[in-house]
Amino acid sequence: MQRDPLLDFSGQVALVTGAASGLGRALSEALALRGARLVASDIDEAGLEALAADLTAAGAEVVTEVADVSTEATAERLVAVAVERFGSLELAVNNAGIGHPFTAFEDITEAMFDRQIAVNVRSVLFGMKHQLRQMTGQGRGTILNVSSMAGLNGAPKIGAYAAAKHAVVGMTRTAAVEHARAGLRINAICPYYTHTPLVDNAVLVPGGDTADAHALLESGCPMRRLGQPSEIIAVMLMLLSPGNTFMTGQAIAVDGGVSAL
């Protein structure tokens, strides 16, 4: 039986940053299950080892790289690893990122802002720089950047994070226009809060707990709940799909209706 081209990643080499947990791990598993060969990167060495063990046991081809994505040298090295190990790079997912506790705008510190820019912006900018160089030479490639609803709308109390995620959307659209004629596709996904370790362990309000945090976040969503990783992964696969050839420069909200308000 012929495979559905929307779900068939056979022969595709995929690079995923932030792959050790959360959406990065779930997407790595989904791509490997559908035939992709994987370069998985994260700063969490133990998490990467666990991912590699699981995927290898399932018959997938995977190489791991422990890396700090805030440096350009890392971005260049990850692309080189993909090419040296597998010969090409068809898919790149710039997923690694960090949040910060709820903070009034006037209380944002220089250190907080700089950390957001280092991890959430530099990793995407320099990641795309080196991914696009390789993909341009190949004549094919797709990039997916993980932004946030905070990259599309106002985001009270997470101003530094919002600034970084708006930058991700801007870079996505700019690079997409520059490379559209070459046939390279670049999109961003903008999820609302989703049940990942980063969110499930968050204490956003000083003196509060995770239950308080979740209740607050759920109240801001028309569906009155947080997202599930599988709901975000389904859209990520669509955006990366080799059967999706005419969508580029988009920032796709997966948000339970938040962007409709």
Beta bridge pairs of residue 93: 16, 144
pLDDT tens per residue, range 76-95: 999 999 999 999 999 999 99
Determine the residue type at 124: V
- The radius of gyration computed from the CA coordinates of the chain, to the nearest angstrom, equals 18
- List the 37-42 sheet strands across, edge first: 62-66, 37-42, 13-17, 91-94, 142-146, 185-191, 251-254
The residue with greater pLDDT, 72 or 3, is: 72
Backbone CA torsion sign across 49, 50, 53, 54: negative
- Read off the pLDDT band of 228 (50, 70, 90): very high
**pTM for this entry:** 0.95
Q: Which residues are known to be catalytic? A: 161
Domains of the chain: 13-192+229-253 (3.40.50.720), 195-226 (no CATH)
Residue 4 DSSP code: P
pLDDT tens per residue, range 94-151: 999 999 989 999 999 999 999 999 999 999 999 999 999 999 999 999 999 999 999 9
- Read off the pLDDT band of 209 (50, 70, 90): low
- Read off the pLDDT band of 4 (50, 70, 90): confident
